[in-house]
Amino acid sequence: MTHPSHTQILISNDDGIFALGVRTLANTLAQAGYKVTVVCPDRERSATGHGLTLHRPIRAERVEDFFNPKITAWSCSGTPSDCVKLALSTLMESSPDFIVSGINHGSNLGTDVLYSGTVSAAMEGIIEGIPSIAMSLASFSSRQFQPGADFACRLVEKLQKYPLPNSTLLNINIPPVSAEAIAGAILTRQGLRRYIENFEKRLDPRGKSYYWLAGELITEIEQPDHIHLPSDIPTDVQAIQKNYITLTPLQYNLTDVASFQYLQTNNWLDESL
């Protein structure tokens, strides 16, 4: 197995360069001997999805005296995806062996991954063929990031010893409990989370109206079946409620195989369309 000092890891996030989650993750991996580079947004960029900055310049500045001295850290004015693209093309001398995004302050479960800047930063790595991990702590109030950072060390070691056959994004959610209270790690399928969308109408100091999204999560919701996986495999939404660390493999190819086969076998696309 490759020695940690010979393994290069790029870390990004969407909570910003000074978030406790990314600091805990980066310092823990550096202390374990890995060569760590951090490139994160200069401010919080949550729920930016896979957005890119196209119509204004992107600036990057070195960050000193916040991370472990062994870590090279950059603050970037762009989105999480910008950060990874800039790191891979310009800021790093060579391609990293792994990309780890997080640890996010708040879960990324079920359909949250479609909006998540944390997951999108990791997905950028998968597009480039680099094994990537998205990590989230399933709470906005908890500050117990260390169990997740320790798990990241174990996971990277495992992936070095047993690499995944394809470029697969592992979406990891950590329950917000002590290390002793974690039930274990479990493979899960992507679940479903729905929200009651509520746009509150407010007035600014000049009397002009604006709207503030304040959606409420629907916690009691039936989880959907998967077209390829048996229903007895828990979803990430279900498993996190039982204090399991959830590992959900994701891919960027969104082709709906079942619908494709239906359209193909039923001659749905005929000359009358």
Structure tokens at 231: 């229903």
134 phi, psi to nearest 5 deg: -110, 130
Residues 37, 96 contacting (CB under 8 angstroms): yes
Spatial contact of 160 and 129, defined as CB atoms under 8 Å apart? no
Q: Smallest Cα–Cα separation from 11: which of 110, 19, 109, 3?
A: 19
How far, in Å, CA of 254 to CA of 250, rounded?
A: 10
Q: Per-domain residue ranges for the chain?
A: 4-190+229-260
pLDDT for 164: 87
pLDDT tens, the chain, 273 aa long: 566 778 999 999 999 999 999 999 999 999 999 999 999 998 888 767 777 778 888 899 999 989 999 999 999 998 999 999 999 999 999 999 999 998 999 999 988 898 899 999 999 999 999 999 999 999 999 999 999 999 999 999 999 999 987 778 999 999 999 999 999 999 999 888 776 667 788 888 998 998 877 766 666 556 667 767 777 888 999 999 999 999 999 988 888 888 888 888 877 777 666
Counting every residue, how long is the chain? 273
In degrees, rounded to 5, the angle at the alpha carbon of residue 38 between the alpha carbons of residues 108 and 61 is: 120
- Name the CATH topology of 4-190+229-260: Stationary-phase Survival Protein Sure Homolog; Chain: A, (3.40.1210)
Amino acid 45: pLDDT? 84
Residue 231 has φ and ψ, to the nearest 5°, of -70, -15
Which among 103, 131, 139, 97 has a CA at the least distance from the CA of 118?
Answer: 103
Pairing state between β 244-250 and 35-41: unpaired
- The upper half-sphere exposure of residue 13, i.e. CA atoms within 13 Å in the direction of its Cβ, equals 28
Give CA–CA dist 188/193, Å, rounded: 15
Q: What is the pLDDT of residue 97?
A: 95
